[in-house]
A and B are shown apart, each in its own frame.
Chain A
């Protein structure tokens, strides 16, 4: 197992594209999920969809979440609060740019690093 990565953008295209770039680095070695768009399919974020994305790649090693703008972060926080309390502490939001963060987090995760190390790698990318 390894840490999984979830990408949450206001735009489904951005989320999918960032996840694609991460996938190119790590192949099938890391579970990746992406979500984007509001409940009507417009630009925005959807708490239920974020919960589903996290659940879909759940790993006992943890899940690193990358977000793009404030609303995505706040909605991701709400989503994490709705996850089973035994799992909740193993989901972290990385304070990192979404594309670079997703690629670095996935790469770090593919080496078998801990959740904390994955988050640090994403957050320290720009020093």
Chain B
């Protein structure tokens, strides 16, 4: 993976978080403590501020730096959860990953987030996006299929009853709202797919 692609990846993900920060915060106001967008933006702004030096690093080192930055800067439960995802990717991805390596690494990363949050899919969390998307990846789905599943999976959190995280305090009142972490995860996944697709067209 060339430096330009790594830079596109970081810029794309940081931009999508920044562009949707208010929407994410509004979702979190409905069923949480109303800071998800602000917190995630603080983390990804700090990540973007490390460019271009960040993109000059090999992929695993870049991902490790992103994970550490998110853990240190986000300041809510999302920090360790999103940070753990990137840190686990960093541990398992080679500098030049093929699809098989990507599938294996994302599976481990999703499992690490599940362990960190001591939660399961179905509890109205980001896991409800990570696991279905992982299934599409493993089945050999295209970038577009991954994006479509990410969006659909986030949508499917709307009727769920939250049983983990701050939204679980609301009980039945958490039903009828999209989970903010599911939404932000789907946005980040879409941004990654787009950045990788742009790399393909440049070749």
Contacts and interface: CB of A to CB of B under 8 A. Distances in A.
19 contacts: A38-B39, A38-B75, A38-B76, A39-B42, A39-B75, A40-B75, A42-B38, A43-B35, A45-B75, A47-B72, A69-B166, A70-B166, A74-B80, A74-B81, A75-B71, A75-B77, A75-B80, A77-B80, A78-B71
A113 to B, nearest CB: 28
Interface residues of A, number: 18
A44 interface: yes
A44 B34 CA distance: 11
Interface of A: 37-40, 42-48, 69-71, 74-75, 77-78
Given A42-B75, A44-B75, 7 more contacts: A39-B72, A40-B42, A43-B33, A45-B75, A71-B78, A71-B166, A75-B79
Contacts of A40: 42, 75
B117 A74 contact: yes
A70 B131 CA distance: 22
B73 interface: yes
Interface string B95-124: 000000000000000000000110000000
Given A42-B35, A47-B72, A78 B80 contact: yes
A125 B121 CA distance: 33
Contacts of A45: 75-76
A83 to B, nearest CB: 14
B126 to A, nearest CB: 13
Given A38-B75, A69-B166, A78-B71, A44 B39 contact: yes
A44 B76 CA distance: 6
A78 to B, nearest CB: 5
Per CB-CB distance, the 7 closest pairs between chain A and chain B, nearest first, are A38-B75, A71-B77, A44-B75, A74-B80, A78-B80, A71-B76, A74-B77
A48 B175 CA distance: 35
Interface in B49-81: 71-81
Contacts of A46: 72, 75
A75 B39 CA distance: 14
